[in-house]
Structure 1
Amino acid sequence: MIFMQNLPLVSIICLCYNHENFVIEALNSVLSQSYGNIELIIADDYSTDGSEKTIKNWLEDHPNIKFIVNESNLGNTKTFNKALQFTKGDYIIDLAADDILLPNCVETQVNTFLNSKQKKLAIVYGNAEIISENKDHLRYYYKVGVEKKALIKPASGDIYLSMLNQSSMICSVSSMVKRDVLQELKGYDENLAYEDLDLWIRTSRNYNFEFIDAVLVQKREVKNSLGNQFYKKFNRRTRKINHSSYLVIKKAIALNKTKIENKALLKRLHYEMTKAYKTFDIWLFIKYIPLELRLRFS
Structure 2
Amino acid sequence: MHNKPLVTVICLCYNHADFVIEALESVLNQTYSNVELLVADDFSTDTSVKVIKNWLKEHPKIPFLVNKENLGNTKTFNKCLKLAKGEYIIDLAADDVLKIDCIANQLEGFKKTAYENVGLIYGNAELISENGNFINDYFKTDTNRKRLQSQPTGDIYIGLLNGNNNLCSISSLVKKAVFDSLNGYDENLAYEDYDFWIRASTIYNFDYVDKILVQKRVLKDSMYTLLTQKNNKKTRRFNYSTYLILQKAFKLNRTKEEFVAMLKRIHFEMTVAYKTRDFHLLMKYIFLELKVRSTILYK
TM-score of the superposed pair, with normalisation by structure 2: 0.97
TM superposition shift of 1:227: 1.4
Are residue 207 (structure 1) and residue 181 (structure 2) matched? no
Using the alignment, how far apart are the partners of 1:253 and 1:177 within structure 2? 24
- Aligned position for 1:60: 57
1:129 to 126, 129, 136: 126
1:227 to 218, 224, 227: 224
Are residue 28 (structure 1) and residue 25 (structure 2) matched? yes
The Cα offsets for residues 123-169 of structure 1, whole Å up to 9 and x where unpaired, read as 10000000000011101000000310000122110100110111120
1:277 to 274, 277, 280: 274
1:159 to 153, 156, 167: 156
SS where residue 76 of structure 2 aligns? helix
Using the alignment, how far apart are the partners of 1:181 and 1:217 within structure 2? 22
Across the aligned residues of Structure 1 and Structure 2, the Cα RMSD in angstroms comes to 0.9
Structure 1 gaps of 5+ residues are none
TM superposition shift of 1:112: 1.2
- Aligned position for 1:180: 177
- Aligned position for 1:196: 193
SS where residue 217 of structure 1 aligns? strand
The Cα offsets for residues 70-96 of structure 1, whole Å up to 9 and x where unpaired, read as 000000000000110110000000000
Using the alignment, how far apart are the partners of 1:155 and 1:71 within structure 2? 41
Bigger mean CA deviation after superposition, 110-119 or 92-101: 110-119
SS where residue 147 of structure 1 aligns? coil
TM-score of the superposed pair, with normalisation by structure 1: 0.97
Do the aligned partners of 1:127 and 1:174 also contact (CA within 8 Å) in 2?
A: yes
Bigger mean CA deviation after superposition, 42-51 or 143-152: 143-152
TM superposition shift of 1:6: 4.0
TM superposition shift of 1:115: 2.6
SS where residue 215 of structure 1 aligns? strand
2:294 to 275, 278, 297: 297
1:241 to 225, 234, 238: 238
Are residue 102 (structure 1) and residue 88 (structure 2) matched? no
The Cα offsets for residues 86-126 of structure 1, whole Å up to 9 and x where unpaired, read as 10000000000000000000011112112322111001000
SS where residue 68 of structure 1 aligns? strand
Using the alignment, how far apart are the partners of 2:3 and 2:63 within structure 1? 23
**Percent of aligned pairs with the same amino acid:** 54
- Aligned position for 2:12: 15
Distance 1:200 1:138, change over 3 A: same
- For residue 27 of structure 1, what is the amino acid of its counterpart? L
Do the aligned partners of 1:153 and 1:213 also contact (CA within 8 Å) in 2?
A: no
Do the aligned partners of 2:109 and 2:208 also contact (CA within 8 Å) in 1?
A: no
Do the aligned partners of 1:125 and 1:172 also contact (CA within 8 Å) in 2?
A: yes
Using the alignment, how far apart are the partners of 1:141 and 1:282 within structure 2? 32
- For residue 191 of structure 1, what is the amino acid of its counterpart? N
SS where residue 245 of structure 2 aligns? helix
| Corresponding pairs, count | 294
- Aligned position for 2:90: 93
Using the alignment, how far apart are the partners of 1:91 and 1:295 within structure 2? 36
TM superposition shift of 1:288: 1.1
